[in-house]
C-alpha cells in the first residue's frame, strides 16, 4: 500500500507544479498551507484559511488543502534566532534554519500526526537518493541555476528519508512552461526573492522593531584601527558590503568586520576581504567522513561558486576549511556546505574566517 504524502503549498508556481507532478504517481495526497504570521496582507485567506488563488488552483488539481498554524514555531525557531544572530554581529541564513526546524520539523510532524502522511513534498530544486546501504543522500537539482541543495544541507537522515522533491529533475523554465500549459500560472503568487518574513526586504526597519535592538551611530575604522568615519547603526551592514559606507578614498571600502559590542565596523579595500580559510561549527554530516582530513568543494553562501578546499575535522567536531584559492567575504552566521561533485556531504555554520 502506497504511503500518503503531504505537500507544502505556498501558492507559488513551484509548489503547484510539484503537486501536479506528484499526483501523476501518488493517489493519496493532501496539501498543507502553513501560516507563519508574516503572510502578505494583499492576499487574505478565505473562510477556511486558504488564500483564494491557492484554493482555486487546488480545485483544479483535485487536491484537498489543510491549513496548519505554525506562527509560534516560526517565531521561536526561525525569527528569534535570526534576530539573535544579528545582535551578535553576524549575518543569519533563515532559510537553512526554516528547512530543518519548520518545513521538515514542525510541518512534517503536523503532516504525520494530524493528516497521517508519511512523507512531505516541497518545491525545492534538489534530489534525494538512497544508496545500497540504506543511507539517504542529498544531490543537487538538475537545474544548475536554480539548485537549492545548499539550503537543505542541515537535514538529518530521518528528514531526508521523509523528503520528496518532485522538481529535482526539472529546470525552472520547464516548470514555468508547465504552469502556463496547465493554466495554473494565473493562480500563482510572485516568488519571494529574499527573506520571506521581511516585507520589501527592509531588514533595518524589521530589526529596529525587535526587542533589544537599538540603532546607534558609531565609528567606522580602517584595518589599522583609525577612525575614518561614522555609521548610523551596525545592523545595517554585513561582511563584504560596499553600499552605505560613504567614505571617500582612493578605492571603494568594504565591510571587513562588525563589532556590535563596540558599535563599530571595520572597513577595508576589496583585497582585504580575502581569506585563506574558514572555521565551521555545528556541522551536520549527511555522509560521515571516513577520515579527519580530505578534499571537498565548499560553498560559503548560496550564490557562491564552490571552492576547492582541504577539510580538517577538529577534536571538538568543528571543521577548519582551507581554500585552494583565497575566497572573498567569508561571513559569520552564513552556512558552509560541503560537496563532492553533485552530492552534499554535509553543512555547518560559518564561525570566522581563517588567515594564518
Among the listed residues 26, 95, 98, 268, the single catalytic one is: 98
Flag whether 348 is marked binding: no
Flag whether 10 is marked binding: yes
The reply to whether 95 belongs to the active site is no
Among the listed residues 26, 95, 196, 268, the single catalytic one is: 196
Flag whether 78 is marked binding: no
The reply to whether 26 belongs to the active site is no
Flag whether 244 is marked binding: no
Flag whether 8 is marked binding: yes
Q: How far apart are CA 114 and CA 36, in angstroms?
A: 18
Flag whether 153 is marked binding: no
Flag whether 11 is marked binding: yes
Flag whether 235 is marked binding: no
Flag whether 328 is marked binding: no
Flag whether 109 is marked binding: no
Sequence ranges of the binding site for ATP = 8-15, 34, 123
Sequence ranges of the binding site = 8-15, 34, 123
Catalytically annotated residues:
98, 196
Amino acid at each position: 500500500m502506497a504511503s500518503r504524502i503531504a505537500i507544502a503549498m505556498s501558492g507559488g508556481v513551484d509548489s503547484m507544479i510539484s503537486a501536479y507532478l506528484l499526483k501523476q504517481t501518488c493517489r493519496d495526497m493532501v496539501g498543507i498551507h502553513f501560516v507563519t504570521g508574516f503572510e502578505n496582507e494583499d492576499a487574505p485567506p478565505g473562510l477556511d484559511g486558504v488564500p483564494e488563488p491557492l484554493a482555486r488552483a487546488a480545485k483544479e488539481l483535485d487536491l484537498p488543502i489543510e491549513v496548519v498554524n505554525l506562527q509560534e514555531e516560526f517565531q521561536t525557531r526561525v525569527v528569534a534566532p535570526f534576530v539573535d544572530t544579528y545582535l551578535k554581529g553576524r549575518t543569519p541564513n533563515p532559510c537553512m534554519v526554516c528547512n530543518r526546524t519548520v518545513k521538515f520539523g514542525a510541518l512534517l510532524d503536523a503532516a504525520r500526526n494530524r493528516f497521517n502522511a508519511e512523507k512531505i513534498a516541497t518545491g525545492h530544486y534538489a534530489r534525494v537518493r538512497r544508496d545500497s546501504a540504506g543511507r539517504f543522500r542529498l544531490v543537487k537539482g538538475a537545474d544548475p541555476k536554480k539548485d537549492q541543495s545548499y539550503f537543505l544541507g542541515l537535514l538529518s537522515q530521518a528528514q531526508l528519508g521523509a523528503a520528496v522533491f518532485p522538481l529535482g529533475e526539472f529546470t525552472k523554465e520547464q516548470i514555468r512552461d508547465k504552469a502556463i500549459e496547465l493554466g495554473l500560472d494565473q493562480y500563482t503568487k510572485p516568488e519571494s526573492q529574499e527573506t520571506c518574513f521581511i516585507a520589501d526586504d527592509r531588514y533595518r526597519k524589521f530589526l529596529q522593531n525587535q526587542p533589544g535592538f537599538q540603532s546607534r551611530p558609531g565609528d567606522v575604522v580602517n584595518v589599522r584601527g583609525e577612525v575614518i568615519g561614522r555609521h548610523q547603526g551596525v545592523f545595517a551592514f554585513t561582511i563584504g558590503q560596499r553600499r552605505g559606507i560613504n567614505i571617500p578614498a582612493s578605492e571603494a571600502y568594504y565591510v571587513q568586520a562588525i563589532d556590535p559590542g563596540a558599535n563599530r565596523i571595520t572597513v577595508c579595500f576589496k583585497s582585504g576581504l580575502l581569506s585563506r580559510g574558514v572555521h565551521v561549527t555545528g556541522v551536520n554530516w549527511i555522509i560521515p567522513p571516513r577520515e579527519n582530513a580530505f578534499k571537498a568543494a565548499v560553498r560559503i553562501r548560496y550564490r557562491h561558486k564552490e571552492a576547492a578546499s582541504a577539510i580538517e575535522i577538529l577534536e571538538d567536531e568543528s571543521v577548519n576549511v582551507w581554500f585552494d584559492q583565497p575566497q572573498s567575504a567569508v561571513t559569520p552566521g552564513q552556512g558552509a556546505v560541503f560537496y563532492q561533485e553533485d552530492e552534499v556531504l554535509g553543512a555547518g555554520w560559518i564561525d570566522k574566517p581563517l588567515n594564518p
